[in-house]
């Protein structure tokens, strides 16, 4: 008979009212979750989104749902995976919220008329030949850092394929495709190709 995972024991103790069990769970995972949230928040948004607020929200959500018995923790790392997934989703929601057009930091310092004029100018101007060459060089460098299957997935996505279609074509699964696109997104952010 396999041993009951420590996390499951702590969650069960917490459900009976043991606050020390909740503290142990928080102490066990807080550093990892803070680090994960920080990695998902760009420097530009760091002044608006506090990773500690995100992680507090993660624990509130977890404890609220755990009290109702909505989570099943079978293996030792199930809780860690669950908390990390909640952290990523909450962080990305905060990033999307603060990047929405009406809250976009890049628009705060300019009046609406100036922004519209600059946008129209950018659309009308088009890239110079030097800019086009520089962009293609950057793109080729970026694509060279991808594994062959990652590059193939990205090319298919650019061509309009859905995750399901990519999975069927490459004989893989949706979850792997999502992980690959997350890795590509992180790499693009490191290279300065994504905001």
Q: What is the pLDDT of residues 147-170, one digit of tens each?
A: 888 888 888 888 888 889 988 988
Kindly state whether residues 27 and 84 are assigned to the same domain: yes
pLDDT tops 70 at residue 52: yes
Is 86 in the same domain as 11?
yes
Write down which residue in 69, 102, 135 finishes a domain. 102
CA dihedral 9, 11, 17, 19 (to 10 degrees): 100
Nearest to 14 by CA among 78, 59, 53, 80: 59
Do the beta carbons of residue 194 and residue 185 sit within 8 Å? yes
Q: Look up residue 174 and give its two tokens.
A: 């949706």
- Is residue 48 in some structural domain? yes
Residue-number span of the structural domain to which 145 is assigned: 127-189
Question: Total structural domains in the chain?
Answer: 2
Highest mean pLDDT among 68-72, 83-87, 134-138, 139-143 belongs to 83-87
C-alpha span between 48 and 182 (Å, rounded)? 23
**Is residue 113, in this structure, part of any structural domain at all?**
no
Does any domain span residue 36?
A: yes
Same domain, 131 and 177: yes
| Number of neighbouring beta carbons within 10 Å of residue 181 | 16
pLDDT of residue 20: 92
- CA nearest neighbour of 142 among 159, 154, 132, 160: 154
pTM of the predicted model as reported, rounded to 2 decimal places? 0.50
> In terms of domains, do 66 and 133 share one?
no
């Amino acid at each position: 008979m396999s041993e009951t995972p420590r996390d499951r024991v702590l969650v069960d103790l917490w459900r009976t009212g043991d606050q020390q069990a909740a503290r142990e769970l928080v102490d066990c995972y807080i550093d990892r979750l803070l680090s994960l949230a920080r990695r998902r928040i760009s420097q530009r948004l760091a002044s608006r989104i506090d990773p500690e607020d995100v992680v507090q929200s993660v624990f509130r959500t977890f404890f609220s749902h755990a009290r109702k018995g909505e989570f099943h923790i079978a293996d030792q790392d199930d809780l860690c995976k669950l908390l990390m997934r909640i952290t990523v989703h909450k962080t990305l929601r905060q990033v999307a919220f603060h990047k929405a057009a009406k809250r976009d930091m890049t628009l705060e310092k300019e009046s609406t008329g100036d922004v519209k004029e600059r946008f129209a100018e950018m659309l009308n101007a088009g890239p110079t030949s030097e800019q086009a060459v520089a962009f293609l060089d950057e793109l080729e460098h970026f694509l060279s850092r991808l594994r062959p299957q990652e590059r193939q997935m990205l090319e298919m996505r650019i061509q309009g394929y859905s995750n399901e279609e990519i999975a069927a074509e490459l004989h893989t699964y949706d979850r792997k495709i999502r992980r690959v696109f997350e890795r590509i997104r992180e790499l693009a952010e490191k290279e300065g190709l994504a905001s």
